[in-house]
Chain A
């Protein structure tokens, strides 16, 4: 009777938790599913308030079918992971509607140890971790509460105690058990929708969407070659169709030659992004697994990850001094009939100059003298001749406008040119010595080819806004106001208030350590940790032996505790308990006499033996008569006899 009260209370709370999880995963699971979960929760709420009758099995089954259909229709088979999580959450929420007994509830709570961590499929930052950890702890408490009929508060205390008690072992296991590659892998859930786009069309955008989300962090070793400005290359756009800058098929060609690194390896921790392209300072080749590098020295993930990944890059200088005829054609290709004024201007400059450098000087003086404006919110240009429009009438734009028009002019003059998008700058964290690069640091510039020298970088934006080259965009005093208007409400938008800025930097740093040491704790980091702990042997033996020792010590201790309890009991009680276990009699609240009556009903074939056993038991326990060895023998014999006979039946 009382146990049911706890089941009722706990299942209601758990339904609300399911609802909260679904709402938090709203973007991934879709609003149709979220609405259905909310409806189920409301149903549960009204049954527990007594407003609605407890649903019958048929109703719950019908609801289950409905949820399955909803999940299929709204998510489809394409989003396998989302569908899987939605089904799991839906099934659990529906189970909560139906649960009446302690046993049913307990099985759902055990499943929850799997259900809650599914949240990690979508987010793995420190906030998500705290949330899920709290849920798991609470789940443990709820499991205690229903299985031991305890008030939830009392159960929570107990579960926290047990959690703290088992924490050292858990930490030791994580740190010391060898990291093995997974045996099987799920397809990743789509989590990020921010990041660079593979197609660049600056002119149609009137407002650059600026997000203060982190793009990546970089740990640069102290070396002369790592000096600002930091141009982080990500995507190379070498095809132009008159409107958009796109990737050519050349991008898929892997790097053919091996190169000697030019300097020390640096490491980058990239946040999940919507594209596979990763970030390098100049050309680079990856020193980590799971990455590829193409002919342009840009690196990419072989499999799109939904968690932050850490990778190492060796800086190299890709030998591109020679361009094939085909590549030359590719990088000077322009569609016919676009921007006649720009074409005329470029051809005029080409006539007046003899080499590429002079052409660029000419172009620079044009941009500087015409007083172009750098703005994050330029007017949109929708005409066909967009470069003309920008160069001769609006003259206001951001990096994409400058880079794209410069590339157009240079291609017209026959200089092989391509557009590069990536990030510029980074915020340096003094305490932990890393650079944080945000989405609002996204940038675009130009690379042009000079025979014998290869590809060189040119940033036309720097002619107009030279400050942009150093530091992060957030540091630009001139654009402060505009920048902040664009950001929307986030901690970064209040960065001019000292306290908030301090808080933001602390949180940012915490997140950095979290990402570096917890999320990216891989076999490499483990082995270096083991090296530091156990010297240079660098094998898993010492680590494993520590873990084994811990496990055996814990196990032995628990075994000893159990044995002590067991051994303290007189023999007749042990035998009695064995019989009750055998007969599956729940003995709470029953006197031995009543338990035996139950046993006799369950095992009608051994009634006589049971009666004799009980008589001996009774006189030993309640009459304070010590049993003689012969009587003990008889007790054992009866016990065996009862079990044997009952089993035969």
Chain B
């Protein structure tokens, strides 16, 4: 199994250079059936990553560019009067795909954001009283700009909580940037030969495998210690919810699986803690590292 995820990572790393850790986390998110939030400045490869992920996993892919005048119906689809049959036909929107890339989600109005997030949680869309199930698997990969950029609507805490993991790609290192410049913008061509042609069954098998990863007593204790530290230390206005604890357990299992292990180490928990907890604790991306470090320094690792 390690082999499959290793393949995925190595394919993706041809696309996104020098960001293996983020790729691992993104894959970890998808294996845990969670939705992914990528927060970064424009031009850092957010779209490329999401595009690549969909391609690699062989999933149907739609992209919606969120703007301030985007309406909920533009995502979910709407009923249109058919003059032939004299009835309303439902024309499904871009959300009816396996991977939805919600680009720059924080540029849309809160109303539109809510419509999307509802679909994320329920796995279905209701238009004009009819409920339409979304295809399975269903992932949302949302990208957002840092909040200080103009014309953005921050996502409310409750909706942030629905994203399983938040990652930030950050600037590439010099070597990676050099080869980016040399190869130029041939992203489309590359995407073609990325495909592993993973079937849906194979993917769901992989997802099910996550739950078989051994989560030992000391690791569970460590997750609980970390979560209760955010609640008891008084340093955080929004401490972690039980949903966050569940997410931490799942993500560490997925991370261990990707790393080729059948059991979770405290190191896995540390690797996923920042991306899983950062946005739930309302810590900006650029401050995430020192905050997480200081938590690790103060919470002893149980054995």
Which one of B216, B266, B267, B298 lies within 8 Å of A624 (CB-CB)? B216
Q: Does A1 contact B (CB under 8 A)?
A: yes
Flag if A589 contacts B263 (CB, 8 Å). no
Determine how close the nearest CB of chain B comes to the CB of A3; give it in whole angstroms: 10
Per-residue 0/1 for B282-303: is the Cβ within 8 Å of any A Cβ (1 yes, 0 no)?
A: 0000000000001011111101
Please, which residues of chain B bring their CB within 8 A of the CB of A624? 214, 216, 263
How far is A299 from B264 in the complex, measured between Cα atoms in Å?
84
The chain A residue with its CB closest to the CB of B294 is: A1
Per-residue 0/1 for B256-275: is the Cβ within 8 Å of any A Cβ (1 yes, 0 no)?
A: 00000011111100100000
Flag if A623 contacts B214 (CB, 8 Å). yes
Of the listed stretches A135-143, A502-510, A591-599, chain B binds A591-599
Flag if B298 contacts A2 (CB, 8 Å). yes
Please, which residues of chain A bring their CB within 8 A of the CB of B265? 591, 593, 618, 622
Flag if B301 contacts A622 (CB, 8 Å). no
- Taking CB atoms and an 8 Å cut-off, the chain A residues in 1-54 that contact chain B are 1-2
Please, which residues of chain B bring their CB within 8 A of the CB of A587? 300-301
Please, which residues of chain B bring their CB within 8 A of the CB of A623? 214, 216, 262-263
Flag if A594 contacts B303 (CB, 8 Å). no
How far is A587 from B266 in the complex, measured between Cα atoms in Å?
13
- Taking CB atoms and an 8 Å cut-off, the chain A residues in 586-644 that contact chain B are 587-594, 618-619, 621-624
Q: Does A573 contact B (CB under 8 A)?
A: yes
Determine how close the nearest CB of chain B comes to the CB of A572; give it in whole angstroms: 9
Please, which residues of chain B bring their CB within 8 A of the CB of A589? 296-301
Please, which residues of chain A bring their CB within 8 A of the CB of B298? 2, 149, 588-589
Q: Does B219 contact A (CB under 8 A)?
A: yes
With contacts A592-B266, A594-B267 known, is A622 near B300, CB below 8 A? no
Flag if A588 contacts B300 (CB, 8 Å). yes
Q: Does B151 contact A (CB under 8 A)?
A: no
Q: Does B218 contact A (CB under 8 A)?
A: yes
Which one of B216, B270, B294 lies within 8 Å of A622 (CB-CB)? B216
Q: Does A576 contact B (CB under 8 A)?
A: yes
Determine how close the nearest CB of chain A comes to the CB of B158; give it in whole angstroms: 31
Flag if A576 contacts B303 (CB, 8 Å). yes
Per-residue 0/1 for A475-516: is the Cβ within 8 Å of any B Cβ (1 yes, 0 no)?
A: 000000000000000000000000000000000000000000
Interface residues on B, range: 10 to 19
The chain B residue with its CB closest to the CB of A570 is: B303
Please, which residues of chain B bring their CB within 8 A of the CB of A619? 263
How far is A644 from B214 in the complex, measured between Cα atoms in Å?
35
With contacts A2-B294, A622-B264, A623-B263 known, is A592 near B303, CB below 8 A? yes
With contacts A591-B270, A592-B266, A594-B267 known, is A621 near B294, CB below 8 A? no
- Taking CB atoms and an 8 Å cut-off, the chain B residues in 36-77 that contact chain A are none
Flag if B216 contacts A591 (CB, 8 Å). no
Please, which residues of chain A bring their CB within 8 A of the CB of B299? 589
Flag if B264 contacts A591 (CB, 8 Å). no
How far is A594 from B300 in the complex, measured between Cα atoms in Å?
13
Determine how close the nearest CB of chain A comes to the CB of B257; give it in whole angstroms: 14
With contacts A2-B294, A622-B263, A622-B265 known, is A590 near B216, CB below 8 A? no
Please, which residues of chain A bring their CB within 8 A of the CB of B296? 589
Which one of A1, A149, A622 lies within 8 Å of B218 (CB-CB)? A622
Please, which residues of chain B bring their CB within 8 A of the CB of A621? 216, 218, 303
Please, which residues of chain A bring their CB within 8 A of the CB of B216? 621-624
How far is A454 from B104 in the complex, measured between Cα atoms in Å?
117
How far is A398 from B78 in the complex, measured between Cα atoms in Å?
116
Which one of A1, A593, A622 lies within 8 Å of B219 (CB-CB)? A622
How far is A592 from B270 in the complex, measured between Cα atoms in Å?
12
Please, which residues of chain B bring their CB within 8 A of the CB of A618? 265
How far is A618 from B303 in the complex, measured between Cα atoms in Å?
10
The chain A residue with its CB closest to the CB of B295 is: A589
The chain B residue with its CB closest to the CB of A573 is: B303
How far is A591 from B268 in the complex, measured between Cα atoms in Å?
10
How far is A584 from B298 in the complex, measured between Cα atoms in Å?
19
Flag if B297 contacts A622 (CB, 8 Å). no
The chain B residue with its CB closest to the CB of A572 is: B303
The chain B residue with its CB closest to the CB of A590 is: B301
Please, which residues of chain B bring their CB within 8 A of the CB of A2? 294, 297-298
Please, which residues of chain A bring their CB within 8 A of the CB of B303? 573, 576, 592, 621
- Taking CB atoms and an 8 Å cut-off, the chain B residues in 230-271 that contact chain A are 262-267, 270
How far is A2 from B294 in the complex, measured between Cα atoms in Å?
9
How far is A624 from B266 in the complex, measured between Cα atoms in Å?
14
Most buried by A among B218, B299, B303: B303
The chain A residue with its CB closest to the CB of B301 is: A591
Flag if B266 contacts A591 (CB, 8 Å). yes
Flag if B214 contacts A588 (CB, 8 Å). no
Determine how close the nearest CB of chain B comes to the CB of A489; give it in whole angstroms: 49
Please, which residues of chain B bring their CB within 8 A of the CB of A1? 294, 297
Please, which residues of chain B bring their CB within 8 A of the CB of A592? 266, 301, 303
Please, which residues of chain B bring their CB within 8 A of the CB of A149? 298
Which one of A576, A588, A591 lies within 8 Å of B297 (CB-CB)? A588
23 A–B contacts from the bound complex (CB under 8 Å): A1-B294, A1-B297, A2-B294, A149-B298, A587-B300, A587-B301, A589-B296, A589-B297, A589-B298, A590-B301, A591-B267, A592-B301, A593-B265, A593-B266, A594-B267, A619-B263, A621-B216, A622-B218, A622-B219, A622-B266, A623-B216, A624-B214, A624-B216
Report the 10 A-B pairs with minimum CB-CB distance, sorted nearest first: A591-B266, A589-B297, A623-B263, A622-B216, A589-B296, A591-B267, A622-B263, A591-B301, A593-B267, A573-B303
Taking A589-B296, A589-B301, A592-B266 as given, write out 8 further A-B residue pairs in contact, using a Cβ cutoff of 8 Å, ordered by the A residue number.
Answer: A573-B303, A588-B300, A589-B298, A592-B301, A592-B303, A621-B218, A622-B263, A622-B266
B residues sitting closer than 8 Å to A (CB atoms) are 214, 216, 218-219, 262-267, 270, 294, 296-301, 303
